[in-house]
Amino acid sequence: MRKPISPTTRSRRRLAWLGIIALLGVLCGLPNNPVRAQVDPEMERKATALLKKFSKEPSIRQLHKAGLEYALVNQDRIGGLVSRARHSGWLPEFRVRYNRNTDDDRTTSFPTLNSPILTTQATDDDHRLEFRATWRLDDLIFNRNEITVYRELRRLVELRTDILKEITKLYFERRRLQLDLMVRRPSNLLAYLRQRLRLQELSADLDALTGGNFSRLLREAGKDPYK
């Protein structure tokens, strides 16, 4: 006779099956449905209102462009280096040479014993101007200057990346500091002064990387970059 299953045993078996199903889901990569955090509408409204106060300031893209142009590593220069290296093989090597040759001929004759000595002199002055154009046909297949250009190109790309990263870091650090001063201004005067000085320091760094364009764009928008 089969013994009846107790409720406790039945609950344990159900939990065991649920655990096995969950484990299989993890192993097989079944999609899970995490609970999304709900955004407070009031907090979202306040955040949008605060960020709108910086709408007249230069964007990060404007500063990226100004920084690359100031450092002469914009896309036009990079593309120009490659184009000139590829087409330089079609240009000949020009040489110009000037040569001058002076030849003096002197002749002395003794006609008779009673006649004076006769001396004649002739000068030949030759001028020669040469032009020479030489094409290196092997450069049309592989130009040796391309190796130098690609090394310079790699250096420019690395410099371009460093400039963009530095501008991005300074830009958003400055924005975070601006928000800190607006939302939770320190009650300690010394701490407040240090934050203001740090804000001016970041503005000066952005000015240095963009050739003064950061201050110029802010002044055009009616703002003082160092306040």
97 contacts 119 by C-beta, under 8 angstroms: no
Does residue 177 share a domain with residue 69?
Answer: yes
* Co-location of 84 and 166 in the same domain: yes
Same domain, 169 and 120: no
Domain assignment present for residue 73? The answer is yes
> Both 188 and 100 in a single domain?
no
Percent of the chain with pLDDT over 90: 27
* 227 vs 220: CA distance, rounded Å: 15
Same domain, 161 and 186: yes
Predicted model pTM: 0.56
Domain that holds residue 115: 93-137
* Cα→Cα distances 79→45, 85, 100, 221, Å: 45, 10, 46, 33
Q: Of 79, 112, 137, at which residue does a domain stop?
A: 137
Q: Which of 37-51, 78-92, 192-206 has the highest mean pLDDT?
A: 192-206
Most confident of 30-34, 53-57, 137-141, 155-159: 53-57
Q: Is the pLDDT of residue 108 over 60?
A: no
